[in-house]
Amino acid sequence: MLSTDSESTRDGAALAIAEEQRFLDAAVARRDRLAARLTAELAVPAEDATGRARQRGLRAQLEELRRASGGLIFGRLDGVDGTVRHIGRTGIRDDDETADPIVVDWRAPAARPFYTATPVDPQGQARRRHVRTDGPVVAGVDDEPLDGADGGALVGEGALLAALNERRTGRMSTAIATLQREQDAVIRAEATGPLIVQGGPGTGKTVVALHRVAYLLFTYRQMAERAVLVLGPSTRFLDYIAQVLPALGETAVVAATCDTLLPGVAVTRAESRRIAELKGRALWQGALERYVRSLLPRARELKLRWDGEFHLIGADAVGHLLASAVQGRSHHRARAVFAEHLHHVLAEAVAEQRAALLDRMDEGYEDILARFRPEPGDDGRSGSDVDGLMSDEEIDELRDRIAADATIARFVDSVWPARDPRTVLRNLLTDAALLARYAPDLTPEEAGLVAADAGADGWAPSDVPLLDAVADLLGDLDGPAPAAGSVAERARRQRGWVYGHVVIDEAQELSEMQWHMVLRRCPSRSITAVGDIDQAEAAHRHTGWAEAVRSTLGDRWTAAELTICYRTPREVMELTTPVLRAAGSRNAPPRAVRSSGIAPRTVETTADRLPAAAAEAVATLRHRWTGGTVGVIAPTALIAALTAAVHDTPVLTATQSKGLEFDATVLVDPARIAAEPRGHNALYVALTRCTQELVTLSPIA
């Protein structure tokens, strides 16, 4: 028999659910009316550009309302002054559009206390309620009084832990209902310059970064006009997060890796860590600038032919043309300006030569010719029709004909040839003498290694930022790309596109030259970079963020930190401290706030049985975590054998597992992972991928 307290609690929950169901029904009905009105307005064809622009806005509103079918409301704030605000995926206004919205968009300032209020700092709120829905049905509520009683670090702990204990599907989902105070502070931080967020495993770095994109696009509408670039560590990772931003209603986003960021260039070969480190150094930016500058033509006398006559342009004049053309422009843009100036000078030279010729012909006949030469304008004629001298209009026409002449174009090409970025980069990288001249910071031994590697076919990952730098220094030969397609589609196919904001996940892996590649795409430096310096595995070793970004950002960046681990259970996080120390870190691991109740388990077996043991462990875990995901993380040398033994389960290196999470993880031969380059950093990554259970397979020595 239930106690009176239990009955009271049950009755109170039922009343709360019924109350929220009535509100949800009203909100759904209002959303449907809004959607119907927008649909009707969109059925009327637009008559002009203004109408078409308005329709684009209406379509965006309609799409946002449709996406809000799940999570139309997920929270409620009761103010101490009696006000009630419901929080949802998108804002919903009442029929009286001048009144306050009946559902507040989670990104709006009025919704912020839902994420930041605590019993110690209630921010004018008496209660926070999490509302769990299943489609149009309210499935439960979770009330949290904000009355000054002692509160922990978490907001809405019951709702958060329920979400964390759900099965993993292999795709990241949104977390707008369970974001925590320190996460919200990062999401809503000003976007005035680079923000670098340090966060250990499970602190929600990726969730924070993606929800920050949604917040920024909502708050700064002009950002959507330039799109947002999201850089991830791998295509597998991008697939994992692919549904988050569309689910939040954001489509003005381009997702890429550093390897895929340069249109038309594909990485086709691997490289050694030594080469990756050498070619990732910041010194290459200056080296490439000096080398491309050396390709400029030298001032010399030019002899051009026009209408059968030769015209000389002196070396001094050519020098002035070159200096005027360059002036901070890219190589090919300067080339185009030089050609324009040269066309003008040649046209003037032709006109002057013609005038001089006429002067010589007229000598001794001035009085006679004056009798027959009408005053300018007497018969509507002017210029060479009157006195043989060319008017300004005729000189302009002559310049246009010179610019369109194929022979003159070939002459300009011979003086200042167009350059292909691929050829320019290979010419430099494969020539040790050129490297010694333009990259003097390399030792002879390092220059030799670079030259030998550059002779291989195809492009390696570290070539992409170098090629991007050369392409930027040379500039485009063609005109602007076609304007067709969405802003994201246009941005994706244009190398020189300038983004409104850039988000970098696993930013600790970027080389200095990759940072340069990012800054070229966002000169405003509106950047959010998230990562964990202790999980760095890249060849370019950095011990801190200041060192990692000094060559590109200097000290003009803001630091933030996420300190609470929500994903990885306490039982697993307790294993990480000695691994961090072995990696040389002085940081403490993030504080885990949940327990799975399952202690990590180690299985010892012989080396030759590791694949079979992995298959057995995976079978057991997949049965235990039905509906969830299991992942295998192993040393590089064992990937092939394990993949053959384990079916329908991802088998990854520690590097490949970055940013991913599984309900259960099988960690194979951790000692061998630790023996790989940057191995303890990699082992730290591998240990912290599970949300529930960790099984380790160790070969018997």
Residues that constitute the known binding site for ATP: 199-206
Angle of the 4-42 helix axis to the 49-67 helix axis, nearest 10: 160
- Of the CA atoms within 13 Å of residue 613, those in its CB half-sphere come to 21
In our burial notation (b when 16+ CB lie closer than 10 A, e otherwise), range 238-251 reads bebbeebbebbbbe
Q: Which residue has the tokens 């990937």?
A: 639
3-class DSSP state of 682:
helix
CA-to-CA separations, 335 to 134, 302, 406, 408, in angstroms, rounded: 62, 16, 16, 14
In angstroms, the CA 397 to CA 403 distance is 10
With contact defined as beta carbons under 8 Å apart, do 508 and 532 qualify? Answer: yes
What's the helix, strand, coil split of the chain in %, to 5? 50, 15, 35
Angle at 164 between CA 113 and CA 688, to 5 degrees: 115
3-class DSSP state of 256:
strand
Cβ neighbours for 346, distance < 8 A, ≥ 6 positions apart: 304, 306, 311, 313, 399, 402, 408
Sign of the dihedral through C-alpha 90, 91, 94, 97: negative
3-class DSSP state of 230:
strand
Q: Which residue has the tokens 């330039």?
A: 226
In angstroms, the CA 89 to CA 111 distance is 11
In angstroms, the CA 27 to CA 517 distance is 46
With contact defined as beta carbons under 8 Å apart, do 680 and 670 qualify? Answer: no
Q: Which residues are annotated as a binding site?
A: 199-206
With contact defined as beta carbons under 8 Å apart, do 444 and 437 qualify? Answer: no
In angstroms, the CA 240 to CA 660 distance is 7
CA-to-CA separations, 227 to 230, 255, 268, 492, in angstroms, rounded: 10, 11, 28, 10
SS (H, E, C) 458-508: CECCCHHHHHHHHHHHHCCCCCCCCCCCCHHHHHHHCCCCCCCEEEEECHH
